[in-house]
């Protein structure tokens, strides 16, 4: 088949549009990139294109956010218990990138290159990852409150981390990061096991996530209570609230790879994510393979979340508020929303991490405290502007 409906078989209907003498763009015969004929431009008044902002605004926003991110990264490397100058940052970067510059003294050099740079990059990557996962999960569950931790992956990571830190299981071979990643994978496996049969409708996904999440939260509490070691409890509370301090080049590289691939996969599914706006049936009628798409998106967001949480702990609020804030600026279409959320999430977490380092220096505050403290007023502002509060 696939041909146009045979004209012979058109009974009883007036050729109303044939009489207009115009190419009917809404007819299947007008497929295949026929240029927008005169008829159309005449029939449609020169209505403004998308004017949430002006047509060039998205490009401008991307440039703005990109520049902001680069500046934030540079500025953030300087900030900390020991301040370093931009010249030092530039010299270190130049030296390690193989340029012909005089290296700094070893101690300063390793402070900048081995601690600060991976840490700042990690903040940007995790911020981007969480924001994009939040945006995607809000779309597939059609739930404005969805965030990357909805599926219980972070709870599994916590249980893994606690098992390593408090019980000392695998502390030599895995470390906290490894333990947290194993925990995240176990909870992810349980989630997939529970979801493997039947549909993946929003309510079922959310409820299953809640079940997994509650189970692992209870396990974490159980281990903590059973141990009673107050030092360990303090250490793990720090970890649970999230901190960039453990970031090194190896974990940063893994996070970078997973974040980049995940972002690309999610972005390529932008149209499908838009299609979910009116629910699964409408998405399916628009040609979205609902079941496959949901599986792909759940697996990708789970993996991105697992890597982010295992690297730096469960930093809250970024994945919830950044997508809402960006949607407020550029609207809900995911082709724009996802990459901009990534940029804004990255800038946001780079700055909150810098704040966490210096606010009560030399004591470092878990970054999760600041994402919430800064996030709540910003979130209220967005809701106010949207007239929802």
The residues that touch another protein, with contacts defined as CB under 8 A, are: 1, 4-6, 9-17, 24-28, 30-31, 33-36, 40, 43-45, 47-52, 142, 144, 268-272, 274-275, 277-279, 281-282, 284-290, 327, 331-333, 335, 386
> Which CB, 25 or 192, lies closer to another protein?
25
Least spacing, CB of residue 152 vs another protein, in Å: 24
Judged by beta carbon, residue 152 or residue 339, the one nearer another protein is 339
> What's the min distance (Å) between Cβ of 136 and another protein?
13
**Cα(217)–Cα(215) distance, integer angstroms:** 6
Query: Least distance (Å) from another protein to the CB of residue 271?
Result: 5
By beta-carbon proximity to another protein, the closer residue of 198 and 377 is 198
* Integer CA distances (angstroms), 13 to 4, 8, 16, 266, in order: 17, 12, 8, 45
Question: Which residue is it, tokens 């107050």?
Answer: 230
Smallest distance from another protein to CB 141, Å: 11
Using the 8-state DSSP alphabet, how is residue 47 labeled?
-
CB of 200 to another protein, least distance (A): 15
CB contact at 8 A, 61 and 340: yes
Q: Which is nearer to another protein, 313 or 323 (CB)?
A: 323
CB atoms within 10 A of CB 302: 26
Q: At what angle do helices 117-140 and 334-358 cross, to 10 degrees?
A: 140
Query: Could you tell me the smallest distance in angstroms from the CB atom of residue 11 to another protein?
Result: 6
Q: Minimum Å distance from CB 203 to another protein?
A: 14
Which of these, 349, 256, 342, lies nearest to 334 by C-alpha position?
A: 342
Q: Which is nearer to another protein, 9 or 105 (CB)?
A: 9
- Nearest CB to another protein, comparing residues 93 and 271: 271
- Closer residue to another protein, CB minimum distance, 31 or 196: 31
CA distances from 91 to 97, 112, 252, 316 (A): 10, 10, 21, 35
Give the position of tokens 């990255």: 346
- For residues 11 and 110, give the distance between their C-alpha atoms in angstroms, rounded to a whole number: 81
What are the DSSP calls for 252-271, one per residue?
Answer: HHHHHHHHHHHHHHHHHTHH
d(CA 27, CA 54): 31
3-state secondary structure of 37: coil
């Amino acid at each position: 088949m696939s041909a146009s409906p045979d004209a012979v078989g058109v009974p009883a209907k007036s050729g109303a549009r044939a009489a207009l003498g115009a190419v009917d763009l809404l007819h299947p015969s007008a497929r295949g990139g026929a240029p927008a004929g005169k008829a159309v431009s005449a029939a449609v008044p020169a209505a403004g294109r998308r004017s949430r902002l002006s047509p060039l605004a998205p490009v401008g926003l991307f440039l703005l956010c990109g520049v902001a991110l680069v500046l934030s990264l540079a500025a953030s490397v300087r900030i900390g218990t020991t301040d370093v100058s931009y010249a030092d940052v530039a010299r270190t970067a130049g030296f390690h990138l193989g340029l012909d510059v005089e290296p700094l003294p070893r101690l300063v050099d390793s402070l900048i290159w081995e601690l600060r740079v991976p840490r700042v990059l990690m903040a940007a990557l995790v911020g981007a990852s969480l924001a994009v996962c939040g945006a995607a999960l809000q779309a597939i569950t059609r739930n404005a409150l969805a965030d990357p931790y909805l599926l219980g992956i972070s709870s599994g990571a916590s249980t893994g981390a606690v098992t390593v830190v408090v019980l000392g299981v695998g502390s030599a071979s895995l470390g906290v990061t490894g333990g947290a990643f194993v925990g995240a994978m176990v909870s992810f496996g349980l989630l997939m096991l529970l979801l493997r049969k039947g549909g993946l409708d929003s309510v079922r996904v959310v409820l299953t996530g809640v079940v997994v999440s509650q189970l692992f939260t209870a396990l974490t509490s159980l281990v903590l209570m059973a141990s009673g070691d107050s030092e360990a409890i303090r250490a793990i509370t720090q970890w649970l609230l999230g901190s960039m301090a453990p970031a090194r080049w190896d974990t940063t590289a893994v996070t970078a790879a997973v974040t980049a691939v995940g972002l690309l996969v999610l972005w390529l599914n932008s149209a499908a994510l838009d299609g979910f706006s009116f629910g699964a049936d409408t998405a399916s009628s628009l040609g979205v393979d609902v079941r496959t798409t949901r599986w792909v998106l759940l697996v990708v967001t789970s993996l991105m979340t697992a890597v982010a949480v295992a690297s730096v702990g469960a930093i809250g609020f970024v994945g919830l508020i950044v997508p809402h804030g960006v949607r407020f600026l550029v609207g809900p279409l995911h082709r724009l929303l996802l990459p901009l959320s990534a940029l804004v999430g990255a800038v946001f977490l780079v700055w909150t991490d810098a704040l966490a380092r210096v606010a009560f220096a030399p004591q470092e505050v878990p970054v999760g405290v600041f994402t919430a403290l800064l996030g709540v007023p910003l979130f209220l502002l967005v809701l106010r502007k949207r007239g929802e509060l």
